[in-house]
C-alpha cells in the first residue's frame, strides 16, 4: 500500500482513513467533489477534486494516481437521502463505481498497475432475516428493503462481475453500523448524543424526541472499521465479500440508555413519527469470523468508547 486512491476522502470515514494511511507511510490520492467539502485543513495527501460521475475526471484520476490500492468510500450513504433521490443514489453508488472499475481495468490492461480495489458495501444489503439466523454470515441471502441497500447490492454484483470477467482484484466489505467523532448528526448515534447534550441541565423527565427504539444494530468504532478496510486491502482474497461487524447487537433503546447515562441526563423518550422509517430492518448483527480468519483483524473499541468520543465532540 504505497500509492492509495481514496474516493470520498472528505467524508466521515475518509478523514480517518487518510490519517491511518499517513501512519502507514502510504501516499494517498484523495478524491472529493469540491474543496468546500473539506471540514478542516487538507491532510497530507494529493487532493483531486471532481465528480465521479464525470468520465473524463475519473480517467484523469486513474492516470494521475496510478494506484496499487483503491479504497472506494464515495457514496450516498444516508438512507433517507437515497430514498428522496433514487436516481442520484444509483448514479453515485452504482454507475460511478462502474466508471471507476472500467478505467482501473483499462489501466491494468495497458500495464504498469494491478491494483487491489476495496468496494465498501453495507449490512443493509441483507434485509430482513429470522432471529435464529443472527449473527449473519456472508452466505446469508440478500433482500434489500431500501434504495440505498439496493444500490449497494448492485454495486457489489457489478464489482464481483468485474473481477470474474477481467481479473481486477476486487475485495468487498459489507459494513455494519459504525460511528465516532465527526459523523453527521443525521445518523443515529450522533443524533442521540446531540439531543442528550442539549438536555443537560434540564429537569429530570424532560421529553426527548426519538425514533423507533426497537431495532437492533451492530456498532463498531470508525477506527476499527478503517483498520478492517486496510487489513482487507492487504490480506483479503479477491472476489470475496467480508462482513465488517462486532457480532454484538444493541437495541436503539439500549443505546439510548447508554447515551443518557454517560451524558448524565434523565430524560423521558417520546417517539416522533417523523423519525420512524417503515422499512427499518428489525435486526442487523454480523458475523466477522471470515474477516478475522483472513486478516487477523479484531475490534478494539466498545460502544461506550464511541459514545464518549461523540460526547466529547458535542461539548467542545
Give CA–CA dist 217/235, Å, rounded: 27
Closest CA to 181 of 22, 65, 308, 19: 308
Closest CA to 61 of 130, 107, 110: 107
Query: Where residue 260 falls among pLDDT bands split at 50, 70, 90?
Result: very high
CATH topology match: 3-178+221-245+286-299 vs 188-216+249-284+304-314 = no
**C-alpha to C-alpha distances, 123 to 79, 150, 243, 256, 281, nearest whole angstrom:** 12, 11, 8, 21, 10
Cβ-based neighbours of 8, under 8 Å, separated by 6 or more: 14, 31, 32, 72, 73, 74, 75
Q: Residue 265 pLDDT > 90, yes or no?
A: yes
pLDDT of residue 272: 87
pLDDT of residue 156: 98
Q: Quick: pLDDT tens for 128-174.
A: 999 999 999 999 999 999 999 999 999 999 999 999 999 999 999 99
Tell me the average pLDDT of the chain: 95
Sequence spans of domains, the chain: 3-178+221-245+286-299, 188-216+249-284+304-314
Q: Say which CATH superfamily domain 3-178+221-245+286-299 falls into.
A: NAD(P)-binding Rossmann-like Domain (3.40.50.720)
**Of the ranges 110-114, 226-230, 283-287, which one carries the lowest mean pLDDT score?**
110-114
In angstroms and rounded to an integer, the radius of gyration of the C-alpha atoms of the chain is 20
**Of the ranges 226-235, 271-280, 304-313, which one carries the lowest mean pLDDT score?**
271-280
Q: Residue 111 pLDDT > 90, yes or no?
A: no
Give CA–CA dist 126/217, Å, rounded: 13
Give CA–CA dist 108/169, Å, rounded: 10
In words, the CATH class of domain 188-216+249-284+304-314 is: alpha beta
Residues 86-101: what's their mean pLDDT?
98
Q: Quick: pLDDT tens for 54-93.
A: 999 999 999 999 999 999 999 999 999 999 999 999 999 9
Amino acid at each position: 500500500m504505497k500509492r492509495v486512491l481514496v474516493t470520498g476522502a472528505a467524508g466521515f470515514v475518509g478523514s480517518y482513513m487518510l490519517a491511518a494511511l499517513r501512519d502507514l507511510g502510504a501516499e494517498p490520492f484523495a478524491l472529493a467533489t469540491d474543496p468546500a467539502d473539506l471540514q478542516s485543513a487538507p491532510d497530507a495527501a494529493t487532493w483531486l477534486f471532481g465528480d465521479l460521475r464525470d468520465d473524463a475526471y475519473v480517467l484523469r484520476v486513474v492516470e494521475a494516481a496510478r494506484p496499487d490500492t483503491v479504497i472506494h468510500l464515495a457514496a450516498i450513504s444516508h438512507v433517507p437521502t437515497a430514498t428522496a433521490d433514487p436516481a442520484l443514489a444509483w448514479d453515485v453508488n452504482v454507475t460511478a463505481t462502474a466508471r471507476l472499475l472500467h478505467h482501473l481495468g483499462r489501466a491494468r490492461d495497458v500495464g504498469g498497475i494491478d491494483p487491489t480495489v476495496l468496494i465498501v458495501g453495507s449490512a443493509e444489503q441483507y434485509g430482513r432475516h429470522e432471529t435464529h439466523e443472527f449473527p449473519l454470515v456472508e452466505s446469508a441471502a440478500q433482500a434489500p428493503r431500501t434504495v440505498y441497500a439496493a444500490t449497494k447490492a448492485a454495486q457489489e454484483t457489478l464489482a464481483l462481475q468485474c473481477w470474474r470477467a477481467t481479473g481486477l482484484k476486487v475485495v468487498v466489505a459489507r459494513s455494519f453500523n459504525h460511528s465516532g467523532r465527526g459523523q453527521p448528526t443525521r445518523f443515529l448515534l450522533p443524533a442521540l448524543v446531540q439531543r442528550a447534550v442539549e438536555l443537560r441541565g434540564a429537569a429530570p423527565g424532560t421529553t426527548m424526541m426519538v425514533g423507533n427504539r426497537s431495532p437492533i444494530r451492530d456498532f463498531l468504532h470508525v477506527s476499527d472499521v478503517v483498520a478492517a478496510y486496510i487489513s482487507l486491502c492487504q490480506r483479503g482474497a479477491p472476489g470475496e465479500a467480508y462482513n465488517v461487524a462486532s457480532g454484538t447487537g444493541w437495541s436503539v433503546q439500549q443505546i439510548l440508555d447508554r447515551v443518557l447515562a454517560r451524558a448524565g441526563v434523565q430524560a423521558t423518550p417520546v417517539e416522533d413519527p417523523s423519525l420512524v422509517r417503515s422499512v427499518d430492518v428489525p435486526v442487523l448483527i454480523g458475523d466477522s469470523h471470515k474477516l478475522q480468519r483472513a486478516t487477523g483483524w479484531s475490534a478494539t473499541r466498545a460502544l461506550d468508547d464511541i459514545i464518549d468520543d461523540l460526547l466529547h465532540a458535542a461539548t467542545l
